[in-house]
Amino acid sequence: MSTIFVRERRKVEKGEKRPRFRVVGTTGDIRITAEHMRKCELEEIAKVSGVQVVYLASDGEGKEGMKKAE
């Protein structure tokens, strides 16, 4: 089974009219050319193509991978 991995974008707030998710990667035979997608678009692609969507967790502060100030 193919899988699409996505995470929430850091610079988009709830209620904004911009795509909220960023495609991080895929497995299997599916290819996605768009970087940013709406949840309804992801769910429709998953339903039609039979793939699984995995929502990756974040720390909620946008600080993952950042170096700590000394």
What gap in Å lies between CA 54 and CA 22, rounded to an integer? 12
- Over the stretch 4-52, which tens digit does the pLDDT of each residue have? 999 988 776 677 777 788 899 999 999 889 888 989 999 999 999 999 9
At 53, which amino acid appears?
V
Q: Which two tokens stand for residue 45?
A: 């692609």
Domain coordinates of the chain in residue numbers? 3-55
**pLDDT band (50, 70, 90) for residue 59:** low
Q: Name the residue among 15, 50, 58 with its Cα closest to residue 30.
A: 50
Residue 32, φ and ψ in degrees, nearest 5: -120, 130
Q: Is 14 exposed, middle or buried (0-12, 13-18, 19+ CB in 10 A)?
A: exposed
pTM assigned to the model: 0.73
